[in-house]
């Protein structure tokens, strides 16, 4: 396939890609059960070349891992008459449930603003929010608030300087996945850049799934909400009764 693309480029009078990504993953499936407390994905690979290594500008590598896209409503709270109340609200149309970007150096030196806008690499570029009411002049602050909240829970990560690149050929990095993960495909992208310009990219995916009791509860909550609610109520009542019984036993 790559040989055919190379020959096609020559026939069309276009330059073939001088550097391409050859990727590897330590695992392509993450299973979530009741004891799941996070995981780590090792991403490694090499650069395949059709030309000698270029020393200047040096090769940089950027890796992004993006979870399923969701819609979020971000609300602003203000203190009025001594009580905190919700005032304005903005719906973020499209934001990844998890997003990590790792780079071999400072992200701003690895990719230009134009390329970042084109490929949506940085965290702010990965979020789409265009439906803010006209009455809200500072809509970007709501997106910033979402990024802060997700960053505190380690669901949004900016890991600069964590991609190791050896001899501009071999690269590796590790992405930490938190315990609170949404089930689905996690798009993984690798960018090779020089002088801030993307010269090659590669895409694959990691599948995150719930298994065992976690999977059964998840499906029950989606397919039979009434049964799930009744079961949750019964468990809460049972737990309350058990705690009361233990308390009475210690008081006796």
Q: pLDDT (tens digit, 9 = 90+) per residue, 126-172?
A: 998 766 665 666 777 888 888 999 999 999 999 999 999 998 889 99
Q: Are 66 and 120 in contact (CB under 8 A)?
A: no
End-to-end CA gap in the chain: 78
β-bridge pairing 19-25 and 197-210: unpaired
Residue 219's pLDDT is what? 56
Half-sphere exposure of 17 (CA within 13 A, CB side): 16
Residues 6+ away with beta carbon under 8 Å from 83 = none
Residues 6+ away with beta carbon under 8 Å from 78 = 84, 85, 87
pLDDT in tens, 211-252: 544 544 555 455 566 665 666 666 777 667 767 766 666 665
Q: Domain ranges in the chain?
A: 2-210, 211-252
Quick one: CATH architecture of 2-210? Sandwich (2.60)
**Count of all residues that appear for the chain in the document:** 252
The Cα 65–Cα 188 span in angstroms is: 5
Over residues 74-88, mean pLDDT: 69
119: pLDDT confidence band, cut at 50, 70 and 90?
Answer: very high
Half-sphere exposure of 239 (CA within 13 A, CB side): 6
Q: State yes or no: pLDDT of 98 exceeds 90.
A: yes
Q: State yes or no: pLDDT of 208 exceeds 90.
A: no
């Amino acid at each position: 396939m790559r040989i055919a693309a190379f020959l096609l480029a020559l026939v069309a009078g276009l330059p073939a890609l001088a550097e391409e990504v050859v990727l590897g993953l330590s695992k392509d499936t993450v299973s979530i059960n009741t004891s799941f407390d996070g995981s780590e994905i090792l991403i490694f690979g090499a650069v395949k070349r059709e030309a000698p290594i270029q020393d200047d500008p040096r090769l940089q590598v950027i890796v992004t891992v993006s979870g399923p896209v969701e819609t979020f409503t971000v609300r602003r709270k203000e203190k009025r008459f001594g009580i905190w109340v919700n005032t304005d609200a903005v719906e973020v149309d499209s934001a990844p449930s998890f997003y990590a970007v790792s780079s071999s150096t400072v992200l701003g030196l690895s990719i230009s603003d134009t390329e970042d806008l084109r490929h949506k690499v940085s965290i702010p570029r990965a979020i789409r929010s265009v439906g803010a009411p006209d009455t809200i002049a500072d809509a970007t602050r709501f997106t910033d608030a979402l990024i802060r909240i997700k960053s505190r829970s380690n669901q949004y990560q900016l890991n600069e300087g964590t991609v190791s690149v050896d001899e501009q050929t071999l690269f590796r990095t590790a992405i930490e996945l938190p315990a609170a993960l949404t089930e689905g495909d996690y798009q993984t992208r690798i960018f090779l850049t020089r002088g801030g310009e993307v010269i090659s990219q590669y895409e694959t995916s990691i599948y995150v799934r719930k298994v065992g009791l976690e999977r059964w509860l998840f499906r029950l909550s989606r397919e039979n909400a009434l049964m799930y609610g009744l079961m949750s109520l019964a468990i809460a009542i049972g737990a309350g009764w058990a705690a009361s019984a233990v308390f009475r036993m210690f008081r006796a």
